[in-house]
Amino acid sequence: GPVPLDEAEKMIERTVLDALFAHGLARHSEDGPGSGVVGLYPPLIGDYLITEGSAFGLVIARNHLATEQPLLDYTTHRPRGADAALLHQRSLRQMADEVTRARRSWTEMPSPETALPLLVALRNTAAPSDQIEEVERRTPLTDTQESAWMLAWFATWKAVELGDLNAAKAVLDDGLKRLPTFAATLEASRAHLQFQTEYVPEVPTVEPDPRDTVGPEMLGVVAAERLLAAGMVEQARNLLESQRPENPLPAGLHAFLVGLADMLGGDLERGIDFAREQLEAANQSSSAMLIQAHAYLCVLGLSIAGRLTEASQAAFQSLSSSSVAAYRDVAHTGILTLGAEIAMAQGRPEYARSLASQIGGAKVAFGPWPGMVASIMAPASGRMPRLKELCELVGQRLDAGYITGGIFLAVEAVERGANENKHITRAASLAAGTESPLLQGMGAYAATTAAGDVDGLREAIVKLADAGALVFVTRAAISLAILQREAGDLAGAAETLDTAWERSEISGSRAGMFRRAATHIGLSGRESEVLRLLPEGPTTASLAADLEMSTRTVETHLHNISRKTGVSGREDLARVADTWLRPAPNGDYSAGDRHFTSGS
C-alpha cells in the first residue's frame, strides 16, 4: 500500500524508485512540505479500470493527469489519479495520530474540553465501544457548554451507533437535572435526535440562558428541519436566511439544510454547487459527521439531476474515505442506498448488491431524508419489501411527519406497480400542498401513474423538467411508455422511449433504468438472443448459423420482436437493441434484477 517517501526509499533502491517515477508507474502525492505518500499504480491497470467503467476505476485510474493539480478538486469533483487511494492511506495515519494526541491530553486532564476531541477521533477510527465508555465514565461534568455538548454527543452515539434510543434519552434526562443552565442545548439535541431517528418533533419551548450559546442555534436547526420535512421550502429558506450560527456543528447542519432547500426548491445546480463547497470545507476540518452529511447531499442532488456518473463517483469517494468510513449514521445509510440505486440504474446489479449488503448493519432503520430507509434495499428478511409493505412504509413515513421522504417512497411504489392506494393518494395530496416544485412534480407523477392518466402524466413530466429533475423525467417517461403500451399504442411507446433515451444522455450508463420497459415488453429467451446480435449487423443467414436456427425461425423471431416492441425494420430494431432495450449483463431482455430507483 501507499507509504511515505522516506519509507519507500528504504524499501526500494533509489535508482529503482526513480525509474518507476520516470515511467509513470509510481505516484507521489503531497499537499505540503514534508508530507505525502508514494504508491505504485501501473498505467495498464489504470487503462483497464477506465475501460471497465467502474466507479473505482473512474476514481483511481487517472494517474496520467498533471501532478501539480490539487489532490482532490472538490469544486469540480474530479479525483486526481491515484490520489484518492493515497489520501485514504494518509487519512488513516492522521486519524491514528489524532487519537494519540487527544488521548494524551485527556489522560493528563480529564474534562469535557479534552474529552470531546478524543471522542470524535475515536469514533472516526471505529474504536471499540469500551474505549468510548471509559471516556464517559471517567470525565467529570462541569457547569459548562462543553459538558452539555459532550452529553449530546454521548446521546447521539448511543442512539445511532448502538441503536439504543432509551439509553440516549436517559443521558439527556440526566443532563437536564445536572446542567439546567444549558437546557436549550440538551432539549434541542433531543429534538434533533428524535428527528433523525423517530419522528418530526415539535420545536422545544425553552428560554435559553445567556451562557448557552449553542442552544439557540440548535433550536433554529430543528425548526428548519421541520419545515423542510414538510416540504415548506420557502418558509425554511426565510428562516435559514435569518440565522447565522457560529458554532461548528450547528453551522454545518445549517449549511446542509440550505443546500437541501435549494434542491427541493427547484434550484438543483445551486444546491449541488453549495453542497460541494461545504463538503470541501468539511474535509478540511475533518468533521466526519459533516463530511457524511454533505456527501449525501451531493449524491442526492446529482442523482436527481440525472448526472449518474458523477453521483456514483461522489458516493464512492465518500464510502472509500477512511476518515468517514467508520462513522455510520443515517447519512451513511443514505449514501449506500442511493449508491446502490444509482448502480442499478446504470445496469450494474452486482455492484448494487455489494453496496446494499452493507446497509443491513444500520442500527437505526430510518432517517429523515430520501434514501435513509435501510429496509428499502436490504430488509432484515433478506428480500426486497413486497409492494403492500412498501405502501405501508409510505404511510409510516407520512405519519411520522417525513412528508419529503414519503413522497420519494410513493414514487418508488407506483413504479413497482402500486395503483390506487390510500397511502399513495395521501402522499400525492400532501405533495401538491408543499412549496417545492420538485415534490409537487413527484406527487403529480405518482398520482397520474397510479391512476393510469396519460395526459396527466405528460403534464407531470413538464413539472419535473422545470424543477431540473432529469432522473424523474426519464423515469416518468418510462412509466408513460408502459401506460401507452397497456393502451395498445406500441409505436407511441417506442417513440417515447427513444426520446427518453436521447434526453437522458447526461446520465451516461443508464440501461438499468429502462429495465422496467424491457420487462414489460417481455421478449422470450430466443428472441433476446436474436435481438442481442442485431447491432453487429449480421445477415439473416449468418444469424441463423450463429444461433443454430433455421432462417425461417430467425425471421419468425424478428417478426415477433417487432410485434412486441412496436418497432419495425432491422435497422430500427438494432438501434433500440443498442439503447433502451439493451440486455441485462446475463443477456436477457425479459427478466432480471428489480429496478431500484434513485432517491427512495
pLDDT in the model for residue 594: 44
Please give the average per-residue pLDDT across 119-142, as a whole number: 91
Higher-pLDDT residue of 474, 32: 474
* Cell numbers linked to 117: 476531541
* 492: Cβ contacts below 8 Å, ≥ 6 apart: 484, 566
pLDDT in the model for residue 600: 36
Of 214-218, 237-241, 383-387, the range with the lowest mean pLDDT is 383-387
pLDDT at 44 > cutoff 60: no
pLDDT in the model for residue 322: 54
pLDDT at 33 > cutoff 50: no
CA–CA separation, 558 and 403 (whole Å): 47
DSSP 585: T
Higher-pLDDT residue of 33, 375: 375
pLDDT 10s digits, 296-305 = 999 999 999 9
Q: What percent of the chain has pLDDT over 90?
A: 59
478 sits in which H/E element? helix 470-486
pLDDT band at 323 (very low <50, low <70, confident <90, very high): low
**Side-chain-side CA neighbours of residue 529 (13 Å):** 12
Is the CB of residue 102 less than 8 Å from the CB of residue 118? yes
pLDDT 10s digits, 146-196 = 999 999 999 999 998 888 999 999 999 999 999 999 999 999 999 999 999
pLDDT in the model for residue 489: 96
Q: 284-323 burial, b if ≥16 CB within 10 A, otherwise e?
A: eebbbbbbbbbbbbbbbbbbbbbbbbbbbbbbbbbbbbbb
SS3 string of 80-124?
Answer: CCCHHHHHHHHHHHHHHHHHHHHHHHHHHCCCHHHHHHHHHHHHH
pLDDT 10s digits, 507-540 = 988 999 999 999 999 999 899 989 988 888 888 8
pLDDT band at 211 (very low <50, low <70, confident <90, very high): very high
Q: Quick one: angle between helices 403-415 and 470-486, nearest 10? A: 40
CA–CA separation, 82 and 36 (whole Å): 13
Higher-pLDDT residue of 93, 397: 397
pLDDT 10s digits, 335-349 = 999 999 999 999 888
pLDDT in the model for residue 444: 98
pLDDT at 127 > cutoff 60: yes
pLDDT winner (highest mean) among 380-389, 447-456, 546-555 = 447-456
Of 275-289, 478-492, 504-518, the range with the lowest mean pLDDT is 275-289
> Among 218, 299, 225, which residue's Cα sits nearest to residue 261?
225
Say how many Å lie between the first and final Cα of the chain, rounded. Answer: 37
pLDDT in the model for residue 3: 73
> Among 147, 144, 141, 95, which residue's Cα sits nearest to residue 122?
95
pLDDT in the model for residue 46: 47
DSSP helix/strand/coil, 72: strand
pLDDT in the model for residue 246: 94
pLDDT band at 374 (very low <50, low <70, confident <90, very high): confident
Is the CB of residue 541 less than 8 Å from the CB of residue 551? yes
pLDDT at 228 > cutoff 50: yes
pLDDT in the model for residue 207: 93
Is the CB of residue 431 less than 8 Å from the CB of residue 443? yes
pLDDT band at 379 (very low <50, low <70, confident <90, very high): very low
Output helix, strand, coil percentages for the chain, rounded to the nearest 5. Answer: 70, 5, 30
pLDDT band at 55 (very low <50, low <70, confident <90, very high): very low
Q: What is the mean pLDDT of the chain?
A: 85
Place of cell 470545507: 281
Domains of the chain with CATH codes:
3-91 (no CATH), 121-376 (1.25.40), 504-600 (1.10.10.10)
pLDDT winner (highest mean) among 283-287, 321-325, 436-440 = 436-440
Please give the average per-residue pLDDT across 66-89, as a whole number: 43
